[in-house]
Amino acid sequence: MSNYNAPFEIHVHGEVLLRPDVQYAQLQEALKPLWHYAGARSLAAGATSAYEEEPGIRFDTAEHVLRMCWTVRGDEDFRQALDEMCMALNELAEQGAPIEVSFYDTQFDDDDEEDDNIADDAESRDDFIMLFVGPTPAAIMQVQRDLLVRDVVHMMERHFDGAELGGVVTEIDKLFTQRFDALVDSLEISKPPRGGAGGGHGGGRRPRHLH
C-alpha cells in the first residue's frame, strides 16, 4: 500500500467517456483497485490526490465522463491495480480512451537533494506508460491509431506541409488494419459478408479509417 516511504509517486491522468446507463456504484467498483490501493474504504474517500492542487478522481455526471488527475504513493505492484482497473473500465466505457500513468522515483529525488555530487551512473527509475480502455478491441485500436497519427503528423509537420502527409497516414492505417485482422483471425470472429446486408458479429467491425 501507499505510504510516505514508498519508492514512487504515481500519477494517473485521463478522461473516459462512460456509457449513459453507468451508475456511480458501478464506477466505484471498477475503480476499487485504485482507491483500495490508496488505503481508502470508498471511491469518495480515495478520490483525493496526494497533491491538493490536483482535482483527483471525479465523475462528471453532466457529461458522463470519468476524469482522473490523481497521484498516489506506491510501488511496482501498482501496475497490477492498473491492469484490474482497465479490465473493469472496459465494461463501462462508451468509446476508446487513453490513460497516462507516470512513475516518479522519489528515492532518486531525495538522493539528488541530499548529494549534489551524485554519481554520474546513478539513474532514476522514472517510467511512463500509456494504457487504453474501450468497449471493444476495435474501439481501443481506434484511439491508439488516432494518437499515433497525431504524434507522427505533429513531428513531420516540422519538415513537410500537412497536405504531403496523406501517404504516411495511409501506411499507418495499413499497419492497424493488419493488426486488427490478425486479432479477428485469432479470436475466430466471423466477418460480415461482402456486398450484403446484416450478418457477422459486432466485434468483427474495423475501426473507422481502417477500411
pLDDT category, 112, cuts 50, 70, 90?
low
Segments making up each domain of the chain, as ranges: 8-135, 138-204
Torsion angles phi and psi, residue 35, rounded to 5: -70, -30
How many CA atoms, within 13 angstroms, populate the side-chain half-sphere of residue 72? Answer: 27
Q: What is the mean pLDDT of residues 33-62?
A: 97
Is the confidence at residue 4, as pLDDT, over 70?
Answer: no
CB 44 within 8 A of CB 27: no
Q: What is the mean pLDDT of residues 56-80?
A: 97
Range with lowest mean pLDDT among 18-32, 70-84, 140-154, 184-198: 184-198
The gap from C-alpha 126 to its chain's centroid, in whole angstroms, comes to 18
Q: What is the mean pLDDT of residues 56-69?
A: 97
Is the confidence at residue 203, as pLDDT, over 60?
Answer: no
pLDDT category, 3, cuts 50, 70, 90?
low
Planar angle of CA 204, 208, 211, nearest 5 degrees: 70
C-alpha cell of 187?
479470436
For residues 52 and 34, give the distance between their C-alpha atoms in angstroms, rounded to a whole number: 18
Q: Which is higher by pLDDT, 101 or 163?
A: 101
User: Please, what's the b/e burial string for 166-183 (b: 16 or more CB within 10 A of its CB; e: otherwise)?
Assistant: eeeeeebbeebbeebeee
For residue 189, give the 3-state DSSP assignment.
coil
pLDDT in tens, 170-200: 888 888 888 888 877 776 544 555 444 333 3
Is the confidence at residue 53, as pLDDT, over 90?
Answer: yes
pLDDT in tens, 117-134: 444 446 778 999 999 999
Range with lowest mean pLDDT among 65-74, 104-113, 194-203: 194-203
Planar angle of CA 16, 128, 13, nearest 5 degrees: 25
C-alpha cell of 88?
473493469
Q: Residue 22: which of 75, 82, 93 has the closest Cα?
A: 93
C-alpha cell of 2?
501507499
pLDDT score for 100: 97
